[in-house]
Amino acid sequence: MEVEERRLSRKEYIAGLDIGTTKTCCILAEVDADTRAVEIVGVGLTPSDGLKKGVVVELDTTSEAIRVATDKAQQMAGNFAIKSVVVGVTGEHISSLNSRGVVAITGPDREIKPADVDRVIEASKVIVLPPEQEIIQAIPRDFIVDGEEGVKDPIGMSATRLEVETHIVTGSSVFLDNIVKCVHRAGLSVDATVLNSVAAGEAVLLDEEKQLGVALVDIGGGTTDIAVFTGGEVYYTSVIPVGGNHVTNDIAIGLRTSREEAERVKKDYGAADGSLVEPGQTFEVTQLGAAEPVELPRDVLVRITEPRMQEILSMARAELAKSDRLEMLPAGVVLTGGACQMPGTVEIAEKTFGLSVRLGVPRNVGALSNTVASPIYSTAVGLIKYAAREQLGLQEREKTVTLKQAIASFFKRLFG
């Protein structure tokens, strides 16, 4: 009898954690060990406010939000026990630069081995760091083999000299320690830290866009994260401490209302482009201390939201200009993050950047694609995609055992 040999494809799991200024999100994904295809199996989201401008200001509320978000994700996946997470980081304390490393290839066959690639990346990390700063990531952009540029995977090639160009991301040790501390307090360990904008780029950008030259602008609640990609890899990154929360604050002050009410009217009636307002349009808002809402022309609100959105985009443009690549972005700008959902944002962004602009949302991540098809999920989805590609944080499935199950199995063992 012929025995059919069937190799079951092995499944591994990755958990990504995005600790945002307005929400904390954990995504659990199944990764096919052979193809590295990613399928989301659990999504946990909870509002959180333990961060200001991307930096932890309250340890307890942040770790509680992490616990709630991971619990939700593992429940959705059928009581999966998440042990560790790949965490996104951001904040004004983050800086980046492009560096170079060089090593000689020795040994009898002069063949480039994985250890040589690790060595050359390490060599590129030898840079002068300001006090209290540490390296978060060293992302290889390009390998140069015996002077030949443009090598993506040098392993196995024969050479005497290997060089690498890396994009190095650094951040404040203190702020990074606090993120790690919150994750530990939630009972999890950290597999790796990844810059938010690099993660978001992984979720929403097409390979062709990264190859041509594209800028990602993620406008969140407290930060706007920027990443420029050229030649397929990240070339420039920057974080500015402004976002949708500033729009909400302006409304709360301008209309004398609570932050909650300001947030509601912003989402329902705000616009980044005044020309979208039709004559006679109105909205209702309850002002501080008032028992009844008042009806106001929508124009009054948009005169607050339009200039602030315009200002955020102008600041993003100024950051992009610092990359010296603003004129070299044929694939234009891709906007993501919750705040870019305000109507008119794409239109005024096109005028501000002088480039084509589109909205980016995560796609093609399995049966739960619809659940995460919103710009607020870009970072979390990108974290698992990045980790799957880089083989970070892979873990085996291990089910959590509920107390009820534990008692049942105890009696079963006792009485058969």
Ligand X SMILES: Nc1ncnc2c1ncn2[C@@H]1O[C@H](COP(=O)(O)OP(=O)(O)OP(=O)(O)O)[C@@H](O)[C@H]1O
Q: How far is the CB of 239 from Mg ion (least distance, A)?
A: 11
Binding window for ligand X (CB under 6 A); candidates: 17-25, 202-210, 317-325, 351-359: 17-25
Q: How far is the CB of 21 from ligand X (least distance, A)?
A: 3
Backbone CA torsion sign across 31, 360, 168, 92: negative
Asked if 23 interacts with ligand X (CB under 6 A), we say yes
Q: How far is the CB of 244 from ligand X (least distance, A)?
A: 2
Q: Residue 339's binding partner, choosing from ligand X, Mg ion, none, with beta-carbon cut-off 5 to 8 A by kind? A: ligand X
Residues in 53-112 that interact with ligand X by CB under 6 A: 54
Q: Residue 338's binding partner, choosing from Mg ion, ligand X, none, with beta-carbon cut-off 5 to 8 A by kind? A: ligand X
Residues in 263-322 that interact with ligand X by CB under 6 A: 263, 266-267, 270
Asked if 341 interacts with ligand X (CB under 6 A), we say yes
What does residue 408 show for φ and ψ, rounded to 5 degrees?
Answer: -60, -45
Pair 270, 281: CB distance under 8 Å: no
Query: Residues 95, 98, 103, CA angle at the centre, nearest 5°?
Result: 130
Q: Give me 151's structure tokens.
A: 């090598």
Distance CA 166, CA 143 (A): 9
Eight-class DSSP state of 40: E
Rg value, the chain, Cα: 24
Q: How far is the CB of 271 from ligand X (least distance, A)?
A: 9
Using CB under 5 A, list all residues that contact Mg ion.
Answer: 20, 220, 379
Backbone CA torsion sign across 255, 258, 259, 262: negative
Q: How far is the CB of 266 from ligand X (least distance, A)?
A: 6
Q: How far is the CB of 179 from ligand X (least distance, A)?
A: 12
140 or 241: CB nearest ligand X = 241
Distance CA 295, CA 280 (A): 11
> x/- binding map, residues 133-172, to ligand X, per CB under 6 A?
----------------------------------------
Q: Residue 103's binding partner, choosing from Mg ion, ligand X, none, with beta-carbon cut-off 5 to 8 A by kind? A: none
Q: How far is the CB of 91 from ligand X (least distance, A)?
A: 9
Of 154, 169, 30, 47, whose CA–CA distance to 102 is shortest? 154
> x/- binding map, residues 202-221, to ligand X, per CB under 6 A?
------------------xx
* 3-state SS, residue 309: helix
End-to-end CA distance of the chain: 39
- Break the chain down into helix, strand, coil percent, rounded to 5: 35, 30, 35
30 or 218: CB nearest ligand X = 218
172 or 341: CB nearest ligand X = 341
Binding window for ligand X (CB under 6 A); candidates: 65-73, 173-181, 240-248, 395-403: 240-248
Asked if 244 interacts with ligand X (CB under 6 A), we say yes
Residue nearest to Mg ion (CB): 220
Q: Say which amino acid occupies 404.
A: K
Helix/strand number for the chain, H first, E second: 11, 18
Q: Residue 332's binding partner, choosing from ligand X, Mg ion, none, with beta-carbon cut-off 5 to 8 A by kind? A: none
Q: What are the b/e assignments for 273-296, b being 16+ CB within 10 Å?
A: bbeebeeeeebebbeeeeeeeeeb
Backbone CA torsion sign across 372, 45, 15, 407: negative
24 or 170: CB nearest ligand X = 24
Distance CA 16, CA 387 (A): 8
From candidates 171, 201, 222, 344, binder to ligand X by CB under 6 A: 222
Asked if 399 interacts with ligand X (CB under 6 A), we say no
From candidates 13, 16, 22, 234, binder to ligand X by CB under 6 A: 22
Report the side by side order of strands in the sheet with 38-47: 38-47, 23-32, 11-19, 84-89, 189-195
Q: How far is the CB of 221 from ligand X (least distance, A)?
A: 4
Binding site for ligand X (CB under 6 A): 20-23, 54, 220-223, 243-245, 248, 263, 266-267, 270, 337-339, 341-342, 376
